Amino acid sequence: RYICFLGGIIALFDQITLSNGLRVIGERLDHVRSVSVGLWLGAGSQYEIPPEAGVSHFLEHMAFKGTQKRTARQIAEEMDAVGGQLNAFTSKECTCFYAKVVDEHLPLAMDVLADLVTAPTFDSAEMEKEKGVVLEEISMSMDEPEDLVHELLMLANYGDQPVARPILGNSERVSSYAREDLVSYWSRMYRPQNAVLALAGNYDWDRVLSMAEELLGGWEADGFSKRGCVTHAVAPTVLTREKDIEQIHICMGFPGLKIGNDRSYELSLFNSVFGGAMSSRLFQKIREERGAAYTVYSYPNAYTDAGMLSVYAATNPDAAVEVSGLLLEEARKLADEGMTQDEFTMAREQLKASYILGLESTSARMQSNGRRLLLLNSTRTETEVIDRVNAIGFDETNALMREILTAPHSMALVGKGVERVAKEIEN
């Protein structure tokens, strides 16, 4: 058991590293009857080279198509039989296979997750069928302008660097994958020292350790090889994509903070004031006062070696230049004048409440602990986070806001006649 001393309060995590390098972390919640468990891999699109575009995501799909012990149907039926939830996702920097079950069914959930990660068969016939599914997913993302403009913003802000490449990859590469491509990537990246097993909910730690040793203790550590990834600053630019749709979708990207940066608390608070809540400057000015857009918001995204504050709005072509101007006007006004004390106090309470409400979900706790241990090799307790939120300073937040909003920004536009709109905005 890992003990963390915080201002005289003892917060407990169950934590251990197995002999093969697999890190295991648990947060026990005796008042619930469920448990969420996830197997996290440090494998994502940021660690792919161009010939491997989309392989992390495709591999995640293929793990569910059969293992050495189970067919795809058996995987689904075994979890459905106990009312469990089973899923996975791939991001820029990690892949997570996760389940949520009634506590008595934790052994089954851990068995299935271990099976998916350590013993996929990558059947060639199933691969050809699943290619069609992933190709449809790629097409769907291209048809969704809100998704498309965010992908375009990444490229505008980071250029041709790994962090900017789509998680789904591209149709050409996905169509060309052979079984040996997946086996090679899996053999290199799906290794215990590149993984974390995370749990949150009602469990017996001794039993968890016994199951982890039985199911994952023999997971081979040999062959692990992970490319380093450093994102360099590039000159922000403007990119457009012509699309015959009714609205123009606008995205702006300002510099952000890397994951784990202590000032991320100030950034989250500032984002709430800027565009992260219904009471925010952007929502109130652009939607409520002007009625110029139905959707408008901002959000920070952070990676281990880069960060960006994104601003998004969708509006009709005739209002696109006006809305873009309003986005920048509110940014400049905040940078010049700062937020008010009332805005600061409200946003800090919003931030605290959002965190506390999220703690009521075992899935949210598992994901927070698993991702942080995987990417930063550290943990943080509930008390630690709340104390840090309470310590956010008014002047420090305004200083960070000024630093970010006065920096050069990138921009992406998707819609009809966007090149003309981009030129008008630049002028």
- Backbone φ and ψ of 130, nearest 5°: -70, -25
Task: Please tell me the distance from the alpha carbon of residue 152 to that of residue 171, in angstroms, as a whole number.
Answer: 17
pLDDT at 9: 33
- Predicted confidence at residue 243, as pLDDT, reads 96
CA 7 – CA 16 distance, rounded (Å): 24
Burial of 265 from C-beta contacts in 10 A (0-12 / 13-18 / 19+): buried
pLDDT tens-place string over residues 283-333: 999 999 999 999 999 999 999 999 999 999 999 999 999 999 999 999 999
Q: Which token pair is 56?
A: 């992390």
pLDDT reported for residue 389: 96
Nearest to 126 by CA among 85, 75, 87: 75
**Category of 361 on φ-ψ map: left (φ > 0), alpha (ψ -120 to 50) or beta:** beta
**Which of 27, 48, 52, 60 is flagged as catalytic?**
60
CA distance 117 to 63: 7
Cα–Cα distance for residue pair 186/82, rounded to 1 Å: 29
Q: Is the pLDDT of residue 159 over 60?
A: yes
Residue 4 has a pLDDT of 41
Phi, psi of 76 (to 5 degrees): -70, -45
Helix residue ranges, H only, 119-190: 124-143, 145-158, 171-176, 179-189
- Which is nearest to 385 in space by CA: 1, 7, 55? 7
Residue 72, judged by CB atoms within 10 A of its CB (0-12, 13-18, 19+), counts as: middle
Going by pLDDT thresholds of 50, 70 and 90, the confidence category of residue 93 is very high
- The pLDDT mean for the chain works out to 94
pLDDT at 7 over 50: no
Cβ atoms 200, 80 nearer than 8 A: no
What integer pLDDT is reported at residue 12 of this predicted model? 73
Q: Which residue has the tokens 């199933």?
A: 126
pTM: 0.94
Residue 61: pLDDT over 70: yes
- What's the confidence (pLDDT) of residue 120? 98
Average pLDDT, stretch 87-96?
A: 97
Distance CA 119, CA 224 (A): 16
C-alpha–C-alpha distance, residues 43 and 46, integer Å = 8
Mark whether 60 is an active-site residue: yes
Alpha-carbon distance of 114 to 59, in angstroms, equals 15
